[in-house]
Amino acid sequence: MSTENATASCSAAESALKTGKKKPVAIITIGMAGAGKSTFVQQINSYLHSLDPPSPPYVLNLDPAVASTSYEANIDIRDTIDYHKVMKEYNLGPNGGILTALNLFTTKFDQVLDLVEKRADTVDYVILDTPGQIEIFTWSASGAIITDAVASSLPTVVAYIIDTPRTTAPATFMSNMLYACSILYKTKLPFILVFNKTDVRPHDFAVEWMQDFEAFQAALASHQGTTDDEGEPTYMNSLMNSMSLVLDEFYKHLTAVGVSSVTGAGIKEFFDAVEASRAEYEKEYLPELQRAREAREKSLKGLKDESLSRFMKDLAIDREKNPAAAAADRWDPSAEDGDDGDDDDVDVNIIDRSDDVWPGQYIDVTRMRPRNDEGMAWPRPG
Ligand SMILES: Nc1nc2c(ncn2[C@@H]2O[C@H](COP(=O)(O)OP(=O)(O)OP(=O)(O)O)[C@@H](O)[C@H]2O)c(=O)[nH]1
């Protein structure tokens, strides 16, 4: 995490202490393409607006390729990066285009965090919608950087969206759980399994399989193709049996809720789970994060000290050898023109769409949104 981000997170913590307000919780929604991430984000957005008093969240869309979202994001990657232009410019296919767009956006993520930090006192939730191709977020450096940066700044929870009707076959269920497991171990963040589309298929079978190992074994056994011609378990079946034992341990670290992003059923229970995850984040994740940060700073300081002493030694030897060159090599302040061409201080690239309408104005999603930008729009000062 950059120093600015660390400072920003401290200032948010200080202001939270002053106002007595809890820090907002960041909800990172992840899920296979078509699982219903965007519909879910729209539903939780509507739910928070409908509370009394309303609690509008701060929404980030990180999917550069989505044609339209059914919610209005406060920060939208598409405002900064034209994914089609990236594909053309770098001669990439769709997935490479999304990944590169995300990489480019990540280079500006400190600005995003600053904008989020500014809202920390007025919002209770920060919601991140991620690219449809799950692996682009979960297995990329950018995804890891974004997740770590958010989690270093705010209590963070991963909402893993599952397409329940498509997960009723034991083998599919297990593949999905293994994927969830890999994300949990990668992020090490509080994790909520969100069984979506319960209006089509209730998720009780999944809860039963997660709580009762034997019930899952029975489902596996009753599934076609689990025994060979001689009635022996197939290789696949034995493998799944062993893996389900591993998953049994994994389920202990998870909360599962069933929701329908269409009807809104289960959304309240989802937020109850999010609040429980906040406590988990503070108790388990935060101390671990602080330990890791201290260790990183210590090793960085060691490296810096070592390279500085090496440099000073080399410099001394060099000066001994070339006293004339050393005498000529002096800093002349009058030679400075005050502008070194460094544009690091251009700091307005990421757009906060809610600047004009904040606080908490609900935005009509049917409204046309001007997209005048051609290509990547940074830097965009003023
Ligand atoms: N019946 C039902 N349909 C749903 C629900 N949630 C989403 N859908 C439908 O599932 C389809 C996919 O939903 P999206 O929200 O676009 O899914 P996504 O995960 O964002 O998809 P990508 O953009 O590909 O990542 C759409 O047709 C939605 O209407 C739900 O709870 N119930």
Q: 48-94, pLDDT tens digit by residue?
A: 999 989 999 999 999 988 888 888 889 999 988 888 988 988 888 88
Q: For 341-349, which contacts have Cβ atoms below 8 Å and span 24 or more sequence positions?
A: 343/379, 346/379, 346/381, 347/111, 348/111, 348/379, 348/380, 348/381, 348/382, 349/80, 349/108, 349/111, 349/377, 349/378, 349/379, 349/380
Q: What count of other Cβ atoms lies within 10 Å of the Cβ of residue 150? A: 23
Q: Is the CB of 132 under 6 A from ligand 1?
A: yes
61: alpha, beta or left, given left = phi > 0 and alpha = psi -120 to 50?
A: beta
- All domains in the chain, ordered by first residue: 22-293 (3.40.50.300)
When pLDDT is cut at 50, 70 and 90, the band that residue 247 belongs to is confident
* Token pair listed for 173: 């269920």
Which residue puts its alpha carbon closest to atom 21 of ligand 1? 34
When pLDDT is cut at 50, 70 and 90, the band that residue 125 belongs to is very high
For ligand 1, the distance from its centroid to the CA atom of residue 337, given in whole angstroms, is 57
Q: Is the CB of 34 under 6 A from ligand 1?
A: yes
Report pLDDT for 379: 44
Q: Is the CB of 246 under 6 A from ligand 1?
A: no
The pLDDT of residue 226 is above 80: no
For ligand 1, the distance from its centroid to the CA atom of residue 333, given in whole angstroms, is 62
Task: State the closest ligand 1 atom to the C-alpha of 261, by its place in the atom list counted from 1.
Answer: 31
User: What's the ipTM?
Assistant: 0.96
Mean pLDDT, the chain, rounded, equals 80
Each residue's pLDDT tens digit, 163-191: 999 999 888 898 899 889 888 888 888 99
The answer to whether 43 touches 267, Cβ cutoff 8 Å, is yes
The pLDDT of residue 320 is above 50: yes
Residue 31, strand partner residues: 161
Task: State the closest ligand 1 atom to the C-alpha of 161, by its place in the atom list counted from 1.
Answer: 19
Which is more confidently placed, 355 or 129?
Answer: 129
The pLDDT of residue 286 is above 90: no
Segment (H or E) for 280: helix 267-280
Query: Mean of the pLDDT values across residues 129-149?
Result: 87
The answer to whether 94 touches 86, Cβ cutoff 8 Å, is no
Query: Mean of the pLDDT values across residues 6-21?
Result: 48
Query: Mean of the pLDDT values across residues 13-42?
Result: 80
CA–CA dist 80, 377 (Å, integer): 5
Q: Is the CB of 35 under 6 A from ligand 1?
A: yes
Asked which of 19-33, 265-279, 314-328 is least confident by mean pLDDT, the reply is 314-328
- State whether residue 161 is helix, strand or coil: strand
Backbone phi and psi for residue 127, each to the nearest 5 degrees, phi listed first: -115, 130
Q: Is the CB of 266 under 6 A from ligand 1?
A: no
Which is more confidently placed, 123 or 10?
Answer: 123
The pLDDT of residue 368 is above 80: no
Report pLDDT for 230: 64
Query: Looking at this protein, which amino acid is placed at residue 279?
Result: A
When pLDDT is cut at 50, 70 and 90, the band that residue 20 belongs to is low
The pLDDT of residue 7 is above 60: no
The pLDDT of residue 300 is above 70: yes
Mutate to test the pocket of ligand 1, among 39, 133, 164 (most ligand atoms within 8 A of CB): 39
Which residue puts its alpha carbon closest to atom 8 of ligand 1? 36
Asked which of 229-233, 347-351, 378-382 is least confident by mean pLDDT, the reply is 378-382
The pLDDT of residue 348 is above 50: no
Segment (H or E) for 257: strand 255-258
Q: Is the CB of 203 under 6 A from ligand 1?
A: no
Task: State the closest ligand 1 atom to the C-alpha of 260, by its place in the atom list counted from 1.
Answer: 31
Task: State the closest ligand 1 atom to the C-alpha of 259, by its place in the atom list counted from 1.
Answer: 31
Report pLDDT for 206: 93
For ligand 1, the distance from its centroid to the CA atom of residue 262, given in whole angstroms, is 9
The angle formed by the CA atoms of residues 211, 190 and 170, to the nearest 5 degrees, is: 35
Q: What count of other Cβ atoms lies within 10 Å of the Cβ of residue 261? A: 26
